[in-house]
Structure 1
């Protein structure tokens, strides 16, 4: 059975403030800083960051992406923050504490993205260094090329419900919502991709983390 990896949380306040358009020249900047610090200190109680992956033969007739047609295997990955951080965000909104609700939700998005980046070393060590399968770039389900229905396939292949307590809705959205599923191609006859993912190759043009230099 595939194993569970626990991932430490990692977040940068400046990145968060930039995404929330919080600049130092705002009159209530100190309040934003104070709110952030309190939320940051609460993270150990709100987070249970876990990840798992599975290497499967790429033998299905319908391939999930044009870039994954020729590889012999697919690596299915799932990373989750657990339910508590989203529950806390919902609670803040219910109390009409919109600042903390918005801020902790934005923090959760960054934490999830960072956790998936940090998990790459584990995937590479297992699949490439120990088993000899070089990895392609990362591919994620979206509304353009990879059908969102692939999220269910990822969940099933990694046994995410049993291992990470992650479920999925009829609309193929994960529960807890701060959960990310994605795939890599893997093959012993290709060269290891130089990096985990490349925004230039991603079809999710509305992704808030999209960076084209």
Structure 2
């Protein structure tokens, strides 16, 4: 079975407030701050951030992306926050506490993105440092270039259903909702990519974390 890694959580209030368009000049700013502080205390109770990856020969007939046609191997990665954070968001909406429902959901998005970024060091240490396979940049299934059906391949190859309790719908959406699947190309005859992820080369143009500024 592939090794499961627990990932510490990391979130920045300023980033969250910017994404939620919350500013100090707003009359409700104090309410926003109180909601954030209350939710922050709950995070250790509702988070079970786990990552898993596997190195596999690039022998599939259908390639995930044109940038991965020539590499000898693919690294399949899966990161999840677990189900409780989304369940908490749902419970707030059911109680008509829309502020906390929206805020904890937005916190989950940031936590998942940060966790996948932090997990890169684990992948690099295992695949590049220990095994000698340099990594390309990250590629993620989306609605544009990489078909969503590859989410199923990532889940299957990582054994994510048994190892970290991630399932998938008929429409190839993961559950728990706050789960991210992605891949790297790996090869002993290439150079290590300078970045884990580059928004300029990503085909997911609707991603809320997209940043193409220099």
| TM bracket, shorter-chain basis | over 0.9
Counterpart residue number, 1:32: 32
Shift of 1:2: 1.3
Where do 1:1-80 residues align within 5 Å? 1-80=1-80
User: 2:160: which partner in 1?
Assistant: 160
**1:85 matched to which residue of 2?**
85
Deviation at 1:200, TM superposition (A): 0.4
Matches of 1:110 and 1:212, distance apart in 2: 18
Structure 2 unaligned residues grouped into runs of 5+: none
What's the offset of the Cα at 1:61?
1.1
Unaligned runs of 5+ in 1: none
Structure 1 distance, partners of 2:63, 2:16, is: 36
SS at match of 1:25: coil
Q: What TM-score, normalized to structure 2? A: 0.99
Partner of 2:176: 176
> 2:100 & 2:200 partners in 1: Cα distance?
33
How far 1:62 moved relative to its partner?
Answer: 1.2
Structure 1 equivalent of residue 205 of structure 2:
205
Aligned to 1:118: 118
Q: Distance in 1 between matches of 2:32 and 2:180?
A: 28
SS of equivalent residue, structure 2 residue 172: coil
**Segments of 4+ in structure 1 off by > 6 A?**
none
Residue 144 in structure 1 maps to residue 126 in structure 2: no
What TM-score comes out, normalization by structure 1 length?
Answer: 0.99
Alpha-carbon distance in 1 for matches of 2:18, 2:105: 15
Hey, what does 1:130 align to over in structure 2?
130
Structure 1 residue 171, shift from structure 2 partner: 0.5
Report the CA distance between 1:195 and its aligned residue: 1.0
- Return the alpha-carbon distance in structure 2 between the equivalents of residues 85 and 75 of structure 1: 27
SS of the counterpart of 1:45?
helix
